[in-house]
Structure 1
């Protein structure tokens, strides 16, 4: 897709910028039956009392970025100078292991979770973390939401979780 964006930009003489968005999450995120994103899947399983299936040992890492931070980067990219034909990573700039994510979700929801380990799926990388130096420089991008607060906001703002999770103001 990046190749096509660059080619169209060159052929039509228009400015283009490519944002590589890492593991974005937040309220309302789609939860398909096949290959659901890890955060809404784990939240749903934790609140529903189900077991969490972790593929591999749980040491694999990802860079989770809250949707509001992604929107900030998108808006900035639309008006920033000197971004034509650039590829810019958008993430939190922090690695979180699947094991650490499970522990954090358990702590936030107050629900102990049974973790089942399944063989690692093929094709996945063991570590993934955005280098956001270019985003910081060109977009003045600075992620504002840490993972714990982003998970809490997702639980508070997503209607799918509101009946299952007590809001801090009501607990």
Structure 2
């Protein structure tokens, strides 16, 4: 058995299952803790995607008893904290659920370390681009401004682009997120809880002498993504509908912009954090470095699947943002991170995986 133990909370999910293979290959004794929530795990039991040799434990991070028992048993050197409720729109109607798991659950894990007298050497948090809210934009003249959160009155009027306090700015363009100088301004409860996780872990690790790495992930996609969870994975939703021969409905008239980052690139970024020297806090953005519209994604899927042309819709999701993308220069300098899978290649790999599932069923 390895003399290094890695605990992955929420480790039976999309990212954790894929990450488990790389951690095992790197020589870690890997422990996965997960509550196996049915919204994420449609099938009962532990997912087959977990690497052989991983030790899975059914743990609810909101339970102090279960957290204490887990830490006493494992005493991890490394913690990769993935456990979180992730539904953006859902968080506005189930705020207490998101706060309980994401905020109180994170605090329970930290208290379990204190109660058991154990301080991990390194904690890696997968945070979210959602913490930026609508983010920073620039006027046609290049003047930066922070966009106000889009309310239902604005969205019902089909005014899609964010505004400043004086109203809509014609010709304004979104700026890529940069952790070093883009202010977090959450526009939904999920985003607020992810920022709270960052603050909780930042305060605790600083006081306790543990290394902390925070990766603000853009939209992660790829094989292994849940095909049943309606609150995450717009790319998998598009792909599934295309393969069924259905026309893909694209909200906000197709103009939503996203940075889609392939699962293998995200896992590579996490592993680069694991291997980095102990140089204090790391806070950086992980994405592909490019943004595409949801209409472009839908058109690609329709072309590859032979499904009808996408349908532009004026529907929207409350709490969603118009544009998001990452400036990955800092991640490149700090970690040597460079994405290897472009969005068209990644989408094709996702389509192939979903088609294979359909063929087998």
Question: 1:80: how far off?
Answer: 1.8
Q: Are positions 1:45 and 2:241 aligned together?
A: yes
Alpha-carbon spacing, 1:2–1:48, altered in 2? closer, same or farther (3 Å): same
Q: Are positions 1:162 and 2:339 aligned together?
A: no
Question: 1:65: how far off?
Answer: 0.4
| 1:44-123 equivalence runs, <5 A | 44-81=240-277, 84-123=280-319
Question: 1:13: how far off?
Answer: 0.6
| 1:66 and 1:147 in contact (8 A); partners too | yes
In structure 1, C-alpha distance between the alignment counterparts of 2:228 and 2:351, rounded to whole Å = 18
In structure 1, C-alpha distance between the alignment counterparts of 2:320 and 2:282, rounded to whole Å = 26
Alpha-carbon spacing, 1:112–1:119, altered in 2? closer, same or farther (3 Å): closer
Question: 1:78: how far off?
Answer: 1.0
Partner of 1:136: 332
Question: 1:19: how far off?
Answer: 0.6
> Is the deviation greater in 32-41 or in 93-102?
32-41
In structure 1, C-alpha distance between the alignment counterparts of 2:204 and 2:226, rounded to whole Å = 30
In structure 2, C-alpha distance between the alignment counterparts of 1:85 and 1:5, rounded to whole Å = 10
> Is the deviation greater in 91-100 or in 27-36?
27-36
In structure 1, C-alpha distance between the alignment counterparts of 2:336 and 2:347, rounded to whole Å = 24
> Is the deviation greater in 82-91 or in 110-119?
110-119
- Structure 2: give runs of 5+ residues left out of the alignment: 1-196
> Is the deviation greater in 49-58 or in 8-17?
49-58
Question: 1:136: how far off?
Answer: 0.5
| 1:3-22 equivalence runs, <5 A | 3-22=199-218
| 1:26 and 1:151 in contact (8 A); partners too | yes
In structure 2, C-alpha distance between the alignment counterparts of 1:128 and 1:29, rounded to whole Å = 20
**What is the SS of the residue equivalent to 1:4?**
helix
Question: 1:82: how far off?
Answer: 6.1
| 1:19 and 1:88 in contact (8 A); partners too | yes
**What is the SS of the residue equivalent to 1:43?**
helix
In structure 2, C-alpha distance between the alignment counterparts of 1:59 and 1:106, rounded to whole Å = 17
In structure 1, C-alpha distance between the alignment counterparts of 2:315 and 2:351, rounded to whole Å = 29
In structure 1, C-alpha distance between the alignment counterparts of 2:343 and 2:277, rounded to whole Å = 30
Name the TM-score, length of structure 2 as normaliser. Answer: 0.43
Q: Are positions 1:151 and 2:151 aligned together?
A: no
Aligned length in residues: 163
Aligned-CA RMSD value? 1.8
> Is the deviation greater in 56-65 or in 75-84?
75-84
Partner of 1:23: 219
| 2:239 and 2:350 in contact (8 A); partners too | no
- Structure 1: give runs of 5+ residues left out of the alignment: 166-171
